[in-house]
């Protein structure tokens, strides 16, 4: 399975972005409102300049206290996020996420323009569906159907 298939299976293909100048408190409200765990940080709304996750906010709270909520997203974000393309395989994305210990990956086109976002949950769900279909096909072959 490739990323393009995962993106098609998602309920929404909209990528929610914030600018580096957005306050962390506003970003936290956006995360809560949309029930998501990460935001792409983009200067122009078309490129992935960084990523801000719930973990980044928790780390900011742990090191700076509640005052970090008044900071800019740029202060807590992970710059230059690892991205994938629509043609990348689910397995490749899972390896990158696992090795990098992150759960959100922007999807970009050949020019680096943002076209989507996949989470580790999206990729695991897709792999489980794929494995289920493979199992059913093998069972059918063994049973002679």
Task: Check pLDDT > 70 for residue 28.
Answer: yes
At residue 55, the pLDDT reads 94
**Domain extent listing, the chain:** 3-143
Supply the DSSP string of 47-80, one letter for each residue.
Answer: S--EEEEHHHHHHHHHHHGGGGGGSBHHHHSEES
- Asked if 114 contacts 15 with a C-beta cutoff of 8 angstroms, the reply is yes
pLDDT tens-digit readout, 39-82: 999 999 999 999 999 999 999 999 999 999 999 999 999 999 99
> Burial of 94 by CB count in 10 Å (0-12 exposed, 13-18 middle, 19+ buried)?
middle
pLDDT tens-digit readout, 79-118: 999 999 999 999 999 999 999 999 999 999 999 999 999 9
> What number is the average pLDDT over the span 10-15?
80
Task: Check pLDDT > 70 for residue 145.
Answer: no
pLDDT top residue among 10 and 100: 100
**What residues contact residue 94 under an 8 Å CB cut-off, 6+ apart?**
120, 123, 124, 127
Architecture of 3-143 per CATH?
Answer: Roll (3.10)
- CA 34/CA 30 separation, integer angstroms: 6
* Banded model confidence at residue 126, pLDDT cuts 50, 70, 90: confident
- Model confidence, pTM: 0.85
Structure token digits, residue 6? 């995962």
């Amino acid at each position: 399975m490739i990323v393009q298939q995962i993106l098609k299976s998602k309920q929404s293909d909209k990528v929610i972005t914030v600018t580096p100048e957005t306050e962390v408190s506003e970003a936290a409200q956006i995360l809560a409102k949309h029930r998501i765990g990460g935001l792409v940080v983009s200067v122009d709304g078309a490129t992935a300049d960084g990523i801000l996750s719930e973990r980044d906010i928790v780390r900011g709270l742990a090191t700076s206290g509640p005052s970090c909520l008044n900071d800019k997203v740029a202060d807590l974000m992970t710059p230059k996020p690892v991205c994938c393309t629509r043609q990348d395989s689910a397995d490749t994305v899972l390896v990158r996420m696992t090795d990098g210990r992150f759960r959100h990956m922007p999807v970009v086109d050949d020019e680096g323009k943002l076209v989507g976002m996949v989470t580790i949950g999206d990729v695991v769900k897709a792999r489980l569906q794929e494995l289920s279909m493979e199992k059913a096909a093998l069972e059918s072959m063994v049973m002679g159907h």
